């Protein structure tokens, strides 16, 4: 039994606010634009004796810049280094993953977390993820962010 949508929503919105001073809200996938040129996907994998899965966050580059700026206390325009935006986005999935697995499965269970990875995806892949059942859509500073949890227990 993994985390509920309400658990994911509450935790992710809280972490966005605490880490990046950003406001996020869960929205319907129909409200998300499909015309994103490219996006960054950051992913963390988790493993325990009974559970195995991954959490991915996918968002346009501009959202990663907003996240980096919020975490570092800068303006988004000041994030000139793409690696800085990606590194911040990876840290966000790291904090989200670590907190979510504890909230969902409890502090009694030991999980191993991978080091977060990142890839760039094109529009076709964005649309595919957007249409995947179970993917949650958040609006962060008026831009879309997709949250995907994959479980292979």
Partner 1 sequence: MAYKILIVEDSSTARKVIKKTIGLSGLPVAEILQAENGKKALEVLNDSWVDLILTDLNMPEMSGMELVDHLKGDEFLNSIPVVIVSTEGSQERIDQLNQKGICGFLRKPFQPEQIKEIINNILGE
Residue numbers at the binding site for partner 1 (CB under 8 A) = 15, 18-19, 68, 71-73, 84, 87-88, 90-91, 94-95, 97-99, 101-103, 107-111, 113-115
Which residue's CB is nearer to partner 1, number 91 or number 125? Answer: 91
Contact in structure between 53 and 149 (CB atoms under 8 Å) = yes
Instruction: Report the helix count and the strand count for the chain, using DSSP H and E.
Output: 4, 7
Reading phi first (left if > 0) and then psi (alpha if -120 to 50, else beta), residue 129 is in alpha
Half-sphere exposure of 141 (CA within 13 A, CB side): 18
Q: How far is the CB of 68 from partner 1 (least distance, A)?
A: 7
Q: How far is the CB of 49 from partner 1 (least distance, A)?
A: 12
Which residue's CB is nearer to partner 1, number 103 or number 125? Answer: 103
What is the torsion angle, in degrees rounded to the nearest 10, for the CA atoms of residue 144, residue 11, residue 3 and residue 100?
100
Which residue's CB is nearer to partner 1, number 32 or number 116? Answer: 116
Residue 138's DSSP bridge partners are: 26, 145
Q: How far is the CB of 124 from partner 1 (least distance, A)?
A: 29
Which residue's CB is nearer to partner 1, number 114 or number 119? Answer: 114
């Amino acid at each position: 039994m993994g985390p509920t949508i309400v658990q994911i929503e509450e935790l992710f919105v809280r972490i966005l606010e605490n880490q990046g001073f950003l406001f996020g809200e869960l929205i319907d996938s129909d409200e998300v634009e499909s015309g994103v040129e490219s996006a960054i996907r950051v992913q963390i994998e988790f493993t325990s004796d009974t559970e195995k899965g991954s959490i991915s966050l996918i968002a346009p580059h501009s959202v990663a810049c907003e996240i980096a700026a919020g975490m570092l206390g800068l303006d988004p325009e000041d994030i000139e280094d793409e690696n800085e935006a990606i590194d911040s986005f990876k840290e966000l999935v790291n904090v989200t993953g670590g907190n979510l697995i504890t909230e969902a499965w409890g502090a009694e269970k030991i999980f191993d977390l991978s080091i977060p990875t990142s890839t760039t995806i094109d529009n076709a892949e964005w649309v595919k993820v957007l249409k995947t059942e179970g993917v949650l859509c958040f609006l962060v500073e008026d831009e879309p962010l997709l949250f995907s949890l994959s479980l292979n227990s």
